[in-house]
Amino acid sequence: MIESTGTLQHFLGMPVERFLAEYWQKKPLLIRQAFPGFSPPLSPEDLAGLACEDGPLARVVTYQRKKDTWSLRTGPFAESDFPKLGHHDWTLLVQDMDKWDADVAELLVPFSFLPRWRVDDVMISFAAEGGSVGPHIDQYDVFLVQAMGHRNWQIEAEPRHEPAFRPDSELKLLQEFNADHRWDLAPGDVLYLPPGYAHHGVALDHCMTFSVGMRAPSSAEMLVDFAEDLAQKLPEYRRYEDPDLKVAEDPYEIDDLAFARVEEALAAWQQADASERRRWFGQFITRYRASGDVQAGPDQASWPQALNALSTGHSLYRHPFARFAWSREAKQALLHVTGESYPVSPHEAALLCRETVLDIADFNGLGKAAQHAVELLYTQGVYQLAEPE
């Protein structure tokens, strides 16, 4: 079964435990009316307006039917660009909409059964009739939430991990696509796709789709980042050494003794303990695919001024682009924030990850180490001071 119908109790049409056991990273699932009566919290005009700003990552994909050609443009766009696109065969995509719009971020609440650090962003696409981004494959999990209008989705029944792409497009479009399943999605319907499943969505009318995408770093990316993390801690004098060198029989041969010295020079890789690897991964995954700068504003109040403002009713608001996670470290914990780690208690780490707004009571309830972490995060712009309203 790859189709279900959402209920008030189970929006996926089944308990989340069953979804994780039978579908997550295993096979697709179409959920009819997962969110009945769903109404997008912003209009296509709002999305287009944001795509004209400097900050958001926005793209427009257009398709020339007669020539069977695809083109990609990146923003920011001018308002005059959109009327020129016509009424057919184009799509606007804007990434990280959960950071730009708090109402869009609410869509992530039903997905809280997934680790929050695995969730990447909510991308919103608006498509005119016939609009599409072509048949393609994503190497990450995605929930495609139909928000407005109708879209036809076609998918292949089996995953492909090394597909061939069309050489005539900068988009990674499949050379061959043979659909096994076809559905028309209405507002409130959701299509879940694990990594590697080829899919192709075409707008049947003016429509919006919210894509809840996951983060899935490749093994190669993790190996490179871990190696760089280790390398930063090695002193400059740690080099390849051969004080036991003997006269070479062949000066061009890399002999077994040389390879043994290489293994010794790379011993730091093998000597990294589990604690070091856990710290590295927490920092890596909260930095991975970072899509916006987090920094303090030029007029930010000093920390003593911020503390005084907290005591008079102000609050600390977390920057929407800051990524939080935590991990246990013996009886303590490490709070990971956008590539940095801070030692706190497990309770404090969980609270700081969970709460996006801190008031004076929250702050006073923290221990000295956690309060110091909040101070450091404030100076970096992770927390910003504002009145409650």
Q: What is the DSSP string of 174-215?
A: BS----SEEEEE-TT-EEEE-TT--EEEEESSSEEEEEEEE-
The rounded distance, in Å, linking the Cα atoms of 203 and 257 is 64
Give the pLDDT score at 330. 86
* Model pLDDT, residue 354: 96
Residue 36 DSSP one-character state: T
- Using 70 as the pLDDT threshold, list the residues of the chain that sit under it: 388-389
- Residue 119: per-residue pLDDT: 95
**The pTM of the whole model exceeds 0.85:** yes
pLDDT at position 389: 64
Between the two ends of the chain, the Cα-to-Cα distance in Å is 47
Give the distance, in angstroms, between the CA of residue 141 and the centroid of all CA atoms in the same chain. Answer: 11
Query: CA-CA-CA-CA torsion for 6, 8, 12, 15, nearest 10 degrees?
Result: -130
| pLDDT score at 290 | 77
pLDDT in the model for residue 270 = 73
Q: What domains lie within the chain, and their CATH numbers?
A: 3-214 (2.60.120.650), 219-272 (no CATH), 303-386 (3.40.366.30)
In this prediction, residue 204 carries a pLDDT of 98
